Structure 1
Amino acid sequence: MNAYGEFVAAIADIPATRLLGRAPEGMNSSGDSQQQDWSKRIKAMQTLELGPCLDRADIYLVQSALGKAEPSASYAFAPLDIETDKERAERFAKQMEAADKLAGLNAMPEQAFNRGIQSLMIAEGYLPELEAALSEIPDDERYGIVADPSVDDPTEGGGPDSTGAGGSGSETEPPVRVAANDATPRPLYVYRKLLNAGELVDWAQGLGVKTNPADQLHVTVLYSKQPVDPMAMGEGWSSDPDGGLVIKAGGPRALERFGEGALVLQFASWSLQSRHNEMVQAGASHDWPDYLPHVTISYEAPADLDLEAIKPYAGELRFGPEIFEPLDPDWKSKIAEA
């Protein structure tokens, strides 16, 4: 019978200690490893088998229970093990140690980091009533969004630069962000100017393409027709002291046509994609199905240009800091190609 029980446990993938209700065998054996294997098995079944079934059924069950659809509703399976106070304290200490090291890297905007830490504390239930207390605090205070006290005059030092498509202003003004003390919601345009645009222009003109002026080449980060508070967008993602962003040479590149005559160079950038998604989650809009980082080379590309026969520009792309501007719907008419 014992041999048969071992056989059944192996076939069922259930630890013998649990299936047969017997004590662990072997010297210094506590049965913990078998219990961990069983928990992993249950977790896999929840994720791969039960979860997908619930996702289909919940669409109707939630609506039936609440009387309306609730797209934000979610669920979580109950823990498979009961954590001891010691284990919980040790896990908290390790998480806070990791968070402290992460904060020292300055790898993300302070507001995003604060939001993540608060979400972790709430999800883990470390501090009772924390979520209720934080919900009563304005977002700017809750996430540490503080106006720059050094900026007294929104017009001091010049206004936003207009050489990027979608913005407004004077070409002689230096590229600066919207003043920190001006948080009026507005349709917003955010972009980065291509600093080594001359290299891309030389490459495109070598193909016989009439290009946009070099000082107007840029990558769009956000094109939001929805009025948003510029301060709610947080800080740009950059490891450079000057706020710039470098796309290294090589990697995925593609030449595509957008609309009628627009020739663009597409490239992959996790930083730009993540930054764009962060802004959309903060309330900005995006009118296209996907965000594709690209530089528009020309709006008058020859119709007979065979893009499949051209190897896309693969050199380094060096972009400047983020520039925030009110959205200008008539930006395209102001571009003069060279």
Structure 2
Amino acid sequence: MDDIAYSFAGAKDVINAYGEFVAAIADIPATRLLGRAPEGMNSSGDSQQQDWSKRIKAMQTLELGPCLDRADIYLVQSALGKAEPSASYAFAPLDIETDKERAERFAKQMEAADKLAGLNAMPEQAFNRGIQSLMIAEGYLPELEAALSEIPDDERYGIVADPSVDDPTEGGGPDSTGAGGSGSETEPPVRVAANDATPRPLYVYRKLLNAGELVDWAQGLGVKTNPADQLHVTVLYSKQPVDPMAMGEGWSSDPDGGLVIKAGGPRALERFGEGALVLQFASWSLQSRHNEMVQAGASHDWPDYLPHVTISYEAPADLDLEAIKPYAGELRFGPEIFEPLDPDWKSKIAEA
């Protein structure tokens, strides 16, 4: 009788190789099919999971979706008793979003919305509705949909009613000749919508909240500066009388309505007029807001709008601007301030 010895050395490698072969044929990551940890140095398995999610998404869109579309025609009508063209479905998310990823996505969406608002590419009411739908669909603010449903549409979407529609002052009164009366010697008062205001020359600006930092920098160059509490950026200087209410309001992610110009970016020191020294900087938000108000009827007396802060009105004539590196620190501005335009504003500024 002979004894035969069997060796199973290498059997595990054979089984693993077979498992990987099956995973490749099935187009399923081996980490999911075999339930094993990802292999390789510093491998987290994220890439395999992303590939698997893409595969499932493609199957949902290209294979399962068309089947559901055909079946829903009958299923929805059977369940509701009538066809519902607006009915839709959505697949559950394949991954669980982390708090960090959700916050980053929200920040990017709001940044894109901020830029879109400045383009004036759509009516304000449509934009408001779209933003509200986005917030509801993403579930960023609990109970938002319920709260908005209790608000009238004109208030919810910022719809301005036409005062000429259903105007009680237009006919129908006993003293109105249009109603068959003898007429009144005094005309009925003109109805003014609640959102209207007397047109006037308008000045809109934002105060520089951290003006002390800019003042210290400029005085270090030997420049006699304007007082820190008077440093600001002009958003609009309109000699044309306009209705302030028609200018709307600037969109800001800051709850206090402020605006922050991050450190760095395009900056320049320039002389304006007689002795004025200004710090120019680039700001898409200020540029688009200015354009928005000009399109709403305001005027602008210069060829271009250049966001800037006037540092001084008595800059030394021998100050070599080419040799000075412009102030590159952060600029923090407060909310927009609307004021009647003061033609004599310059005489009221005292040098610091």
- The TM-score normalised by the length of structure 2 is 0.50
Cα deviation for residue 246 of structure 1 reads 0.0
Structure 1 pair 207/293, CA: closer, same or farther in 2 (3 Å)? same
Most deviating of 184-193 and 231-240: 231-240
Structure 1 pair 3/236, CA: closer, same or farther in 2 (3 Å)? same
Cα deviation for residue 184 of structure 1 reads 1.1
SS of the residue corresponding to residue 3 of structure 1 reads helix
Cα deviation for residue 261 of structure 1 reads 0.2
| Contact 2:169–2:188 (Cα < 8 Å) also in 1 | no
**CA–CA distance in 1 between the matches of 2:184 and 2:209?**
19
| Contact 2:169–2:191 (Cα < 8 Å) also in 1 | no
**CA–CA distance in 1 between the matches of 2:50 and 2:103?**
20
**CA–CA distance in 1 between the matches of 2:264 and 2:340?**
33
Most deviating of 148-157 and 279-288: 148-157
Cα deviation for residue 236 of structure 1 reads 1.2
Structure 1 pair 167/157, CA: closer, same or farther in 2 (3 Å)? closer
Cα RMSD over matched residues?
15.8
Output one character per residue of 1:123-175: Cα deviation in whole Å (capped at 9) or x when no partner: 99999999999999999999825699999999999999999999999999999
SS of the residue corresponding to residue 170 of structure 1 reads coil
Equivalent residue for 2:311?
297
Output one character per residue of 1:175-203: Cα deviation in whole Å (capped at 9) or x when no partner: 99999866111000000000000000000
Output one character per residue of 1:232-274: Cα deviation in whole Å (capped at 9) or x when no partner: 1011131100000000000000000000100000000000000
Output one character per residue of 1:185-225: Cα deviation in whole Å (capped at 9) or x when no partner: 10000000000000000000000000000000000000000
Structure 1 pair 135/327, CA: closer, same or farther in 2 (3 Å)? farther
**CA–CA distance in 2 between the matches of 1:166 and 1:305?**
77
Structure 1 pair 64/251, CA: closer, same or farther in 2 (3 Å)? farther
5+ long unaligned stretches in structure 2? 1-14
Aligned to 2:181, which of 148, 157, 167?
Answer: 167
| Contact 1:167–1:325 (Cα < 8 Å) also in 2 | no
| Contact 1:159–1:173 (Cα < 8 Å) also in 2 | no
Output one character per residue of 1:94-137: Cα deviation in whole Å (capped at 9) or x when no partner: 99999999999999995582699999999999999999999999
Higher relative contact order (CA 8 A, sep 6+): 1
| Contact 1:221–1:276 (Cα < 8 Å) also in 2 | yes
Cα deviation for residue 6 of structure 1 reads 46
| Contact 1:159–1:176 (Cα < 8 Å) also in 2 | no
Structure 1 pair 165/260, CA: closer, same or farther in 2 (3 Å)? farther
Most deviating of 104-113 and 76-85: 76-85
**CA–CA distance in 1 between the matches of 2:310 and 2:183?**
20
- The TM-score normalised by the length of structure 1 is 0.51
| Contact 2:260–2:333 (Cα < 8 Å) also in 1 | yes
Output one character per residue of 1:311-335: Cα deviation in whole Å (capped at 9) or x when no partner: 0000000000000000000000000
**CA–CA distance in 1 between the matches of 2:29 and 2:191?**
61
Most deviating of 136-145 and 159-168: 159-168
Aligned to 1:262, which of 254, 273, 276?
Answer: 276
Structure 1 pair 7/127, CA: closer, same or farther in 2 (3 Å)? same
**CA–CA distance in 1 between the matches of 2:64 and 2:90?**
12
Most deviating of 104-113 and 296-305: 104-113
**CA–CA distance in 1 between the matches of 2:179 and 2:283?**
20
Most deviating of 22-31 and 140-149: 22-31
Equivalent residue for 1:183?
197
Structure 1 pair 21/313, CA: closer, same or farther in 2 (3 Å)? closer
Aligned to 1:23, which of 37, 49, 60?
Answer: 37
| Contact 1:263–1:299 (Cα < 8 Å) also in 2 | yes
| Contact 2:20–2:30 (Cα < 8 Å) also in 1 | yes
Cα deviation for residue 231 of structure 1 reads 0.6
| Contact 1:160–1:324 (Cα < 8 Å) also in 2 | no
Structure 1 pair 265/54, CA: closer, same or farther in 2 (3 Å)? farther
| Contact 1:243–1:322 (Cα < 8 Å) also in 2 | yes
Most deviating of 232-241 and 246-255: 232-241
Structure 1 pair 314/284, CA: closer, same or farther in 2 (3 Å)? same
Structure 1 pair 98/286, CA: closer, same or farther in 2 (3 Å)? closer
| Contact 1:160–1:325 (Cα < 8 Å) also in 2 | no
| Contact 1:160–1:173 (Cα < 8 Å) also in 2 | no
